[in-house]
Structure formats: structure tokens, C-alpha cells
Structure 1
Amino acid sequence: MTPAADGFRMPAEWEPHARTWMAFPTDNPTFDGEDALHEARQAWAAVANTIARYEPVVMLANTGESADARYYLDVGIKVLERPLDDAWMRDIGPTFLVDGKGGLAAADWVFNGWGAQSWARWELDAQVGAAVTDFAGAVTYRSRMVNEGGGIHVDGEGTVLLTETVQLDPERNPGWTKADVERELRDFLGVRRCVWLPRGLTKDYGMYGTRGHIDIVAAFVRPGVVVAHQQPDPAHPDHEVCRENIAVLRKEGFEVVEVLAPTVTEVDGAPVDYSYINHYLANGAVVLCAFDDPRDQEAADLFGKLFPNRTVELVDAREIFAGGGGIHCITQQQPEVSRPGHAR
């Protein structure tokens, strides 16, 4: 049986959470050297400590590194040891599902290092999804599709956003068609409509990139309304990428709120793909990437209008982006389960 056949669906991120799951940075090629690892741990901890003011946080730490994690984390954050390769919980962890009857389940995707990339290690991370669902007491449904949580974004009412270059990547799912992917997503997320964008941001196809994750270019803020990354500089390679993605979203009937890219496009002469789209919704809060950029406050004001009942928390995400992702990429929500007739 599939999750959808058993009545499960992936809820929207703005629905109530029981907790947030994260993974603590450990020594690996993503964090090159002691200084880089320390800076990453500070950045991950800043996100965790911010979220912990709004909902419980559970941090997985590599075997023997729970004391290291405790040094950086606030006292209320729970730390569990589990062998890890890397620290991108959105991608290595499960996708949690609910049935509205008090049931909690999870889709456990196949993980292969973002398409078997040469620098990646994933033997341990490929087992994290099952470990998290076990810790959470959720029913596990194992998919046969290579997928990461950052490659999908749902509205909780039957629609999922995704990009052609992720799930159709020949290094992820060789031979799969759009129909194959859509069938798996219908079965595992309970969606009915799949909206494909052509590609992700240009930098996301380089070293430590994901080859086009959706959660850096577009995200639902409520059913029918999508925030989309907009690069206003015509000379920037993402200008045309954003124009095409936004055109697709509007053609599909969505109200699109364009969010201007940060003004900083390079660091030490290397391109960056800084984006405010890669935010995380915690209970009562929007945890928004900050880049010490003139547009940080502009983005915060915009998200404050989109989520008037949540506090916008700006958290410096530059070190996270240096490793290939953002705040959304290092977090994974576990939804609160509800029963018919019970207040949520």
C-alpha cells in the first residue's frame, strides 16, 4: 500500500509542527578544515536556537559528537546520536505525512548524494530517513525514487512544485519520465497536481549544488500564492531563469509574489546564489535568511506582510550558503497530528 492509499498526505509547512529536526555539521568535504567546521556549527546552531524559541528542536549529531553539539546549542534542544555523513536534514531526512486521524507517517526517499556527486558521501545519510521516522514513532513508507526534501514544495491541498532538473536527473532517476515521477509523488505525498519549473538557480549547478532544488526559487505561502526569486539584473544569468520560472507559475494560475534577490552576487570573486525564498516556517515564526545585505530588511518586511501572525526572525545564512544550501535545507518539520473533532 502507498501512503496516499492509506489516507496520508504531506501537510503544508505553515500547518502546526510537533518539532523540527536538524543534523549537526560533522567533518566532511563540505566543511573544509576546523575553522570552516566551527563556522558551520555556529551557523546551524543559530538557526536551531532561534527555532527552539518557537517549537521543540531535535538535533542529530554524529556518533561521539553530542558533547560538541551541546557546546553550541541552547539547553532545551534535544541531541540524539546517529552516524552522519553531512548536515542537510531537509534532503537526507524523511518527509512527514499525516492522515487527519492522529496517524503520523513518513516518505523515506532514496538518497544518493544529490545525484552521486563526486565530492559527496552518503552511505550513512541514506539511512537517516529511517532513523528519524523510528525516533519519531512514524510509520515508514519507502519510496523507490531518488528525491530530496528540498526538491519538493507543497501547498497541503494537493499541489506540489518541483523542477525538471532534479527528479529527472539521469544521475538520480535514470530512465524516469515525468509521468513516473508524478505517479510516485501522488502515491507518496497525496498530491493531485504537479507543477514543473524548468530549472533552479545557476550557482546550484556548480560545486556543492543540488542541480536545481525548488526551495531556493519558489515556495507556497498559502494555497494559490507563491513567492518566487527574482533577479532584477539583466546581466545576471539568473535573470532569464527567474523570468521563465515566474512565467510558468503565472501561466499555471498562481498569484506570484516576486522577492528580489540580495544585491550581493559574488563573495571573494566567486558567484553566490543567495535567496530569501529558502526560509523556514516554525510555529509562530518565519526564519528568514539574512546576508548582511541592503535587501534583508525589505525581504523581512515583505514576509511580515505575507505572514502577519508570525514573527520574522532574520538569521545570518552566509555560512550555510557557502556549503550549498540555506535555512530551509537544514531543517525538516514534523507536523503535529490531529484527530477529527480536536482543535489543532
Structure 2
Amino acid sequence: MTWRMPHEGDPHERTWMAFPAVGPTLGDDPAEQERFYAAWTAVANAVVEFEPVTILVDPAEGTRARRMLAPEIEIVETPVDEFWFRDHGPTFVVDDERPGVLGAVDWIFNGWGAPEWASWEKAAEHARFTAGLVGAEVVTSLLVNEGGGIHVDGEGTVLVTETVQLDPRRNRFADRARVEAELARTIGATKVVWLPRGLTRDYDDFGTNGHVDIVATIPTPGRLLLHAQNDPEHPDFAVTCGLRAILEQETDAAGRAFDIIDLPAPATIRDHEGFVDYSYVNHLVVNGGIIACGFGEEAADARAREILEAAYPGRRAVTVDARQIFAGGGGIHCITQQQPAVATR
């Protein structure tokens, strides 16, 4: 069998999420907890306008979830600690030789490198649990990896960062060849594009150590959307310039040079903790739409919607305020996971 991860823009069966639950990410401040609940809810309610949504909810949060979520959202109760579903849930794949068959890659999840603060024992079970719910074949992997650490074009190209897959806290004995072989086996990658790093804020204690899904994505094969920090005061100004220079020399699985489209960051460069990593690259593509991150800047958010709609023709971009999600260490793409619609004979 040959597994292949479809492009995010291919038709979806549904989007999966997990509802916030008590733990390190949710924190102890009641006001901030409420902001987390509201942010996750806003994303789920936006997605369900385009396609079905199923959300894993800890039994202790069931009453709150049912009160806040749109009634058409399917709730499945199961133990939850971390709730960044892109990272600890399954990465769905298909087998083109077996129409109608869905696979679910179960990466090893260790809380983004086993930091002292993280708690992930329950979340690490979500990939297999979800696969069982949808009847997907589990594709077991010994690679410590997260869904936010990869982006594909559906035709063999995958974007990764050296500081994630080669992170000694994740894969102590890995090298490029071993990672590439495992990505070929599990998601059908024939060309791995290695970026040296991610954005600056992502290396803080609550960061992922450089996930690619906040840096660059592939809206269509041969084309890239690249985060552009245009303020020289921000350290990501130099980072994104360097990444652009690298990608300008790269090719995809088909041997094409990338057509790179800059997706400018909003004007805000700091919050109370330091430089932010606000990025419009961290969006979710859904059936007929795009769920875009918003940062409270009307002009910048509108510009991002225009760029995204041009990159994904025929889709309508909807902005959801993502500032609280980013304060927790990620964005809209990080808390969602698409389930592709499998072809049947």
C-alpha cells in the first residue's frame, strides 16, 4: 500500500477539533480560561458554516461545550488534556490504489519535545481514538511529530523545519535520511523541503520549536504563501528574509521552482510578553472557504483575506480573532485537522 496525504484544499469529510480542558495550556486565570473557550468556540462555529465539525470534549467540559458550540457540531466525549488537535490528533491519509480507504497516521506525541510544563498523556491517545470513530486504518509511526510540523501539496512535496523533526527532544537519533524515509512511508512524501527554523516566538517555553504551519504553506502545487514580517524592528524580519532566500532556490516534487507569494504580518509586533508571531499563514482551508486568523487590525485582516481568496480561487475567507489562540502558542490551523473525503468506486 502507498499512503498519501491529500492537499488541504481537497474536499473534506469534516474538520476535527478538541475543546479546551483544565491543564497547563488553559492556566489558572478564570478570565483567560474564558477567552480560550471563546476562541476555540468561535473557530468551530465558523468552520461548521462550511463543513461538518466533530469536537472531542472532556466529560468535565460537556455542559459548557454544549452551551457554547453551535447545535450542529458533533460532540464526542473522551478524556482531554491538550487540545491542539492538529498536533496530537491523526494525520489523515489515503491510498490511491484502494478507493474508499482512509488511513490515520499516529505520530508519537510528547507535548512538543517533552517540556516540563506539558501534560499530554490523554492527547496522545486521540489519534487512535479518532481513527476508530471513522473506521480509518491506523498507520503507526515511531517518529515524534505533529501535524503542524508538516505542510504538503498532495503531490509528494512536504515542508518541514530542522528544529522540529530533528529536535533531539523529539527524535534524538534522527537524521534527515531517516525522517525523509518515514515521511515517504507515512504520507507519501517524495520531496522534503527543509527549512532551518520557524518564527522567533515559537521558541519560547510554550512554543513548538519551529512549526512550519505558521511560516509557509502550499495553496496549490508549485506555489507558496510565505509569512512576511516587514518591520525591521521585529527579529522575524531577518528570519523571513532568510527563509525566502532559501525557498527561492528550492523546487517541489515535480521539479518546479516555487512561485512565492508574501503574506504580510499585521502591524502589531509586541504583546505583554514580547515580540509576537502573528501570522496569516496559519489559516484553515475548508470546503468552499478559508478560516483566516484575525488580529484586531481591520486593514491588515482585510488585506490577508484578499490574498488568501486569490490564492484559493472560489473560496470565501472568513476572519476569526486568533489573538488568544496565539497567546497560547498557536493559531487556527493548529487547533483543527481536516478529514479528507475518500473516493469510492
TM-score (norm 2): 0.95
Where does the alignment leave 5 or more consecutive residues of structure 2 unmatched? 251-256
1:96 aligns with 2:108: no
* Secondary structure of 1:166's aligned partner: helix
Structure 1 partner of 2:330: 325
From 23, 27, 47, the counterpart of 1:28:
23
From 37, 43, 47, the counterpart of 2:39:
43
Moved >4 Å (runs of 4+)? none
Any idea what the Cα deviations from partners look like across 1:73-114, whole Å, max 9, x if unmatched? 000000001111111000010000112311101110000000
Structure 2 partner of 1:165: 163
- Aligned CA RMSD, in angstroms, stands at 1.0
Q: Is the 8 A contact 1:64 1:81 kept in 2?
A: no
Give the whole-Å Cα distance in 2 for the aligned partners of 1:129 and 1:163. Answer: 22
* Secondary structure of 1:183's aligned partner: helix
Letter in 2 for 1:99: D
Letter in 2 for 1:302: I
1:260 aligns with 2:255: no
Q: Structure 1 residue 271: deviation in Å?
A: 2.2
Letter in 2 for 1:173: N
Structure 2 partner of 1:78: 74
1:336 aligns with 2:319: no
Q: Is the 8 A contact 2:2 2:185 kept in 1?
A: no
Any idea what the Cα deviations from partners look like across 1:124-153, whole Å, max 9, x if unmatched? 111111111111110001100000000000
Q: Structure 1 residue 29: deviation in Å?
A: 1.5
Give the whole-Å Cα distance in 1 for the aligned partners of 2:116 and 2:265. Answer: 29
Any idea what the Cα deviations from partners look like across 1:151-203, whole Å, max 9, x if unmatched? 00000000000000000000000021010100000000011000001100000
Q: Structure 1 residue 269: deviation in Å?
A: 5.3
TM-score (norm 1): 0.96
Give the whole-Å Cα distance in 1 for the aligned partners of 2:191 and 2:162. Answer: 15
From 142, 147, 153, the counterpart of 1:155:
153
Where do 1:56-75 residues align within 5 Å? 56-75=52-71
Where do 1:114-133 residues align within 5 Å? 114-133=112-131
Give the whole-Å Cα distance in 2 for the aligned partners of 1:279 and 1:290. Answer: 10
Letter in 2 for 1:88: W
Letter in 2 for 1:263: A
Deviates more, 1:59-68 or 1:79-88: 59-68
From 294, 304, 307, the counterpart of 1:299:
304
> Once the two structures are aligned, what percentage of the paired residues are identical?
49
Give the whole-Å Cα distance in 2 for the aligned partners of 1:144 and 1:137. Answer: 22
* Secondary structure of 1:132's aligned partner: helix
Q: Structure 1 residue 118: deviation in Å?
A: 1.4
Aligned positions, number: 335
Where does the alignment leave 5 or more consecutive residues of structure 1 unmatched? 1-5
Letter in 1 for 2:313: P
Give the whole-Å Cα distance in 1 for the aligned partners of 2:273 and 2:33. Answer: 22
Give the whole-Å Cα distance in 2 for the aligned partners of 1:291 and 1:324. Answer: 15
Q: Is the 8 A contact 1:229 1:259 kept in 2?
A: yes
From 220, 223, 228, the counterpart of 1:222:
220
* Secondary structure of 2:183's aligned partner: helix
Give the whole-Å Cα distance in 1 for the aligned partners of 2:184 and 2:45. Answer: 35
Structure 2 partner of 1:3: none
Q: Is the 8 A contact 1:22 1:87 kept in 2?
A: yes
Give the whole-Å Cα distance in 2 for the aligned partners of 1:275 and 1:194. Answer: 23
| CA shift in 2, pair 1:170/1:311, >3 Å | same
Q: Is the 8 A contact 1:66 1:80 kept in 2?
A: no
| CA shift in 2, pair 1:269/1:144, >3 Å | closer
1:286 aligns with 2:290: yes
Q: Structure 1 residue 268: deviation in Å?
A: 2.6
Give the whole-Å Cα distance in 2 for the aligned partners of 1:74 and 1:233. Answer: 39
Q: Structure 1 residue 57: deviation in Å?
A: 0.1
Letter in 2 for 1:148: E
Give the whole-Å Cα distance in 2 for the aligned partners of 1:38 and 1:21. Answer: 21
